[in-house]
Amino acid sequence: MSSHPVEFHPSRSAVLAQVAQAAPQAWPLADIVALFNLPFNDLLFRAQQVHRENFDAQDIELATLMSIKTGGCPEDCGYCPQAARYDTGVVAQKILPLDEVLSAARMAKESGATRFCMGAAWREPKDRDLEHVEEMVREVKALGLETCATLGMLGEGQAQRLKDAGLDYYNHNLDTSPELYGDIITTRDYENRLDTLGRVRGAGIKVCSGGIIGMGESREQRAGLVAQLANMLPYPESVPVNNLVQVKGTPLYGTDPLDLFEFVRTIAVARITMPKARVRLSAGRREMGDAIQALCFLAGANSIFYGDKLLTTGNPDAEADRALLAKLGMHTRHTVSDARCDVTN
């Protein structure tokens, strides 16, 4: 597959057509590669200008991610310790009871999080599974939190059920560029990803979609991922950018680590090409250190996952995050207006 704007067969429903269109192409791949190739200071200066035009530059959104069903996934994503076929020490568990999820949501809110994300290691949820998630969404939303879910691929009607339950965001990452995708995952294809995003957008749920970098891709392939996201109409409201957390037992364990300045570049390019999106500094923060995280905020990241764990991998603890934000003079979203957050192209 190419990294041109996403195209759908004319026979597909209008719902899927809402995800992306062939024209006009807002961000040609060559233009995104050119951004990546700018001198580092020039790239960050441009990204910070775009950021300030659309957000309070000191504003950080705190989101908490909880695994509501861990392990046992039949997929073969090369980065994921929850795949049943890899020996990573992750023990498969059934879906959590509602009271345990609500307890975690209350704690997240008390700690300052404004969005609570629920993740389940499924290829796609069965209808009986969705009933449990719908109840969680309703109850978490009743606490005054934004709700997000990442449950794998969604079938016909499932996105609408989640919308009816009150779901605000659905996360379904593209992971990488179309050219590299088949080297990372073979149990589904890029079109499966796009189909789910089409159903989510068609149901009126906001889209959370980004990717993982540091999986051995080239700079042009990183640009290809950004091109796929930035040329969606509209582009995602939330764009999580993950740095690969290498887990022993997964196929990508032992991959040469990414230069962290390249990670900062990716944040900056995402900010420039998707100016009104929440660009989330996601997995891999614990390995970055304070200085690189500060550069990511300068490059336009304005959301972080908050808490000591992201599904099954470690994350900086809340106290460390609060100390870093205080050191940088930044404040969290729940203390400021978020009126400039709507996405338009």
Q: Determine the pLDDT at residue 296.
A: 96
Gyration radius from the chain CA atoms: 19
- Give, in order, the Cα–Cα distances in Å from 202 to each of 149, 152, 163: 16, 17, 10
How far apart (Å, rounded) are the C-alpha atoms in residues 174 and 168?
A: 19
Q: Determine the pLDDT at residue 136.
A: 96
Name the pTM for this structure.
0.85
Which residues on neighbouring strands pair with residue 310, listed in sequence order? 313
Q: Determine the pLDDT at residue 159.
A: 95
Closest CA to 66 of 127, 23, 113, 15: 113
CB atoms within 10 A of CB 46: 18
What's the chain's length in residues? 345
Closest CA to 120 of 157, 95, 139: 95
How far apart (Å, rounded) are the C-alpha atoms in residues 45 and 226?
A: 19
CB 89 within 8 A of CB 200: no
- Give, in order, the Cα–Cα distances in Å from 85 to each of 3, 93, 217, 299: 30, 15, 24, 38
- Average pLDDT, consecutive stretches of 10 residues, N- to C-terminus, the chain (345 residues): 38 38 72 97 97 95 90 77 74 88 92 90 88 95 95 92 96 92 88 92 96 94 96 95 90 89 97 96 86 96 75 62 90 53 45
Q: Which residues are catalytically annotated?
A: 73, 77, 80, 117, 148, 208, 280
Instruction: Spell out the residues 6+ positions from residue 112 whose beta carbon is closer than 8 angstroms to its own.
Output: 62, 306, 322, 332, 334
Structure tokens at 87: 């020996």
Q: Determine the pLDDT at residue 316.
A: 60
Instruction: Specify the pairing of strand 115-120 against strand 146-150.
Output: parallel
Q: Determine the pLDDT at residue 320.
A: 84
The number of angstroms, rounded, from the C-alpha of 280 to the middle of its chain's C-alpha atoms is 7
Ramachandran angles phi, psi of 56, nearest 5°:
-65, 120
| Three-state secondary-structure class, residue 332 | strand
| Three-state secondary-structure class, residue 224 | helix
How far apart (Å, rounded) are the C-alpha atoms in residues 187 and 256?
A: 24
